[in-house]
Amino acid sequence: MGHTSTTASIARRRVVSLTTLSVTFVAVFGSSIGVDLLSRWTGSIDGIWLSNAVFLAIFLKHGRRDWMAIAIAGFTANVAADLVAYNFTYAVTFAILNLLEVLIVALPLRTMVLDRDFTRSSSLIAFYALAVGPAPGIAALLFGAFAVISEHTQFFPAAINWYSSDALGLAIVTPPLMTVKWSDVKAMFGRDQIAGTCLLLSTVLGAIVLNFFLRNYPIAFLFFPAVVLLTFQRGFAGGTAALLMTSAYLLVPALFGQSSGALHSHSIREQITVVQVFIAVLSFSVVLVGAALEERRRLGQWLAAAIARAENSREEALLAKESAEKANRSKSMFLANMSHELRTPLNAVIGFSEMMHSEIFGPLGDRRYREYTGLIQGAGKHLLDLINDVLDMSKIEAGKQELHRERLNIMDVVRDALAMMQEQAAAGQVALEIDANTAPVFIQADRRAMKQIFLNLLSNAVKFTPEGGRVCVTTQTEGDRVILSVRDTGIGIPAEQIYRLGNPFVQVRNNAGTTQTGTGLGLALVRALTEMHDGTFRIESIEGQGTTVSVSFPACARETLAA
């Protein structure tokens, strides 16, 4: 089976190669001998050389593995065509120079991968730089030297004649051959576009008619807007069709020395050269306009695809966000509903351990039992604190946290919290201080939430302050807001980690690379409860010197206080 497939592939390859060789030979031979015969018939010097433009287009449209066969076919076609007008030495020399000229353009374009798409500006710039520069220039210099040696003619006229005819041929013919697609031509004359195409072509025909009847007036400039208009509306295919119509009208009279207007007084060679330069300018305009339109079309397609991708990504992000929010709500509701189930047995463990540790119903016996019950009691209280933080945060996230606002003196809450933290501070040999006015400061708030805020702030401050340090609470009023700050002389927070604090489950690593025990919910609860009271939360810290955490709340209006 594999052998049969390979044989069939080789057979198809041979057919393709034979077809390519036949097309190359016929195209190069036809364009070469056509120009030769036309030159002899009109008795003029060649003004444009089409053979190399066709040869180059065939090269660029095929893979490099076909180049050897194409080169042989094109070389043979050039020799055969030139033998009609010249001897064998001339024919072979011309064929070699033509092949060299084509390769000077084709090899760099293929090496730099600029031959894939002639509608891109980079490919066109590289092509024109080679097609009007080194390719015809080198071949022209070699031809001039050959003409001097073989015919003893002047070097520069021979070289200039070769250069001008070949450069014009490459610049005018090759770009349309590389950019026009047969599918675009069929679409241009399709059922839905044929009426518009005929109307557009009539503008070129109108320019031709005006130039014909007013041939003694310089109105050839009318061809330019007509050709550009067709390019705008029908792309490369339309511009090339307009260019062919214009070229046929202008070239045929020039070949017979019958150009109209000021050109009529010049020689046939000069007439052909001027007409070809004009056509080259038109061709260059078609290519530039067509390339710009093609680039705009590509950008439009890319933009449309990018918008579609962005819209799809947005929809996916919204779905993911909804799923995440739903999952988060479900999680929070589950934890919030677990409050009773978790706290009840844990409170029982703590209660019984306290009773055993206090030996309410008699001595336990071995003193180690008393030590163990103390450890159970401490671990239980620590676990209860962690569970309370998690459950409180879950309630807030689930929207089930209820605030019972009342007018309260915030200083009473602060003093209660300080009293509750005295034992923990004394154990850590940390001084607790308050620097506040004795005058009462009233806010509308939930008393339990306020106490939880200050207990968490004080607990954090004491936890991260070494022995001999101090924690100070300050209050101040700014406008209609009350600001309370807890400042410690602890280890401080690295600047790059401050922005993370206040988010759930975030803890800061100290200089040793370790973290304090806890859930990382303390400051998150402070922030959440503060914001629920229309307050603000701010952290300021210098590593190694200490941290200040401030919360501010709206103060009660004076009329409220008076009441």
What is the dihedral sign for C-alpha 140, 146, 147, 152?
Answer: positive
Dihedral sign (CA 238, 242, 244, 245): positive
CB atoms within 10 A of CB 561: 11
Q: Which residue has the tokens 């202008």?
A: 250
The pLDDT value given to residue 95: 92
- How many C-beta neighbours within 10 Å does residue 154 have? 12
pLDDT along the chain (563 residues), means of 10: 52 62 86 74 63 89 85 90 86 92 92 82 85 91 90 85 85 83 83 88 88 78 84 83 82 68 66 75 79 79 85 85 79 67 74 77 74 77 73 70 85 86 87 78 87 87 89 87 90 76 55 48 82 89 88 74 45
Let me know: does 508 contact 501? Beta carbons within 8 Å: yes
3-state secondary structure of 361: coil
Q: In what order do the strands lie in the sheet with 481-488?
A: 431-435, 470-478, 481-488, 546-554, 536-542
For 146, the token pair is 């050959």
pLDDT at residue 76 in the model: 92
Tell me, letter by letter, the H, E, C secondary structure of 79-105: HHHHHCCCCHHHHHHHHHHHHHHHHHH
Residue 33 to residue 81: CA distance in whole angstroms: 5
For 482, phi then psi, to 5°, come to -105, 125
Q: Is 124 exposed, middle or buried (0-12, 13-18, 19+ CB in 10 A)?
A: buried
Q: What confidence tens digit (pLDDT) does each residue in 66-93 have? A: 888 889 999 999 899 888 878 899 889 9
E-only strand ranges, 352-500: 405-409, 431-435, 442-446, 470-478, 481-488
DSSP string, 465-531: S-TT-EEEEEEEEETTEEEEEEEE-S----GGGGGGTTSTT-----TTS---SS-S-HHHHHHHHHH
Number of separate helices (H) and strands (E) present in the chain: 17, 7
CB–CB of 190/160 below 8 Å? no
Residue with tokens 């609860």: 525
* φ/ψ of residue 546, rounded to 5: 140, 175
Q: How far apart are CA 335 and CA 337, in angstroms?
A: 5
| Closest-CA residue to 54 (of 39, 72, 74, 34) | 74
Question: Residue 560: its pLDDT value, please?
Answer: 47
Quick one: pLDDT at residue 563?
44
d(CA 554, CA 484): 12
Q: Against a cut of 0.85, is the pTM above it?
A: no
Least Cα distance to 551 among 470, 456, 466 occurs for 456
| Residue 22 burial (10 A CB sphere; 0-12, 13-18, 19+) | exposed
Supply φ then ψ for residue 443, to 5 degrees.
-140, 165
Q: Please tell me the distance from the alpha carbon of residue 543 to that of residue 365, in angstroms, as a whole number.
A: 50
For residue 443, what are the β-bridge partners?
408, 555
Rg, C-alpha atoms of the chain: 46
One-letter amino acid of 3: H
Bridge partners (DSSP) listed for residue 224: none
Q: Cα separation of 177 and 55, whole Å? A: 11
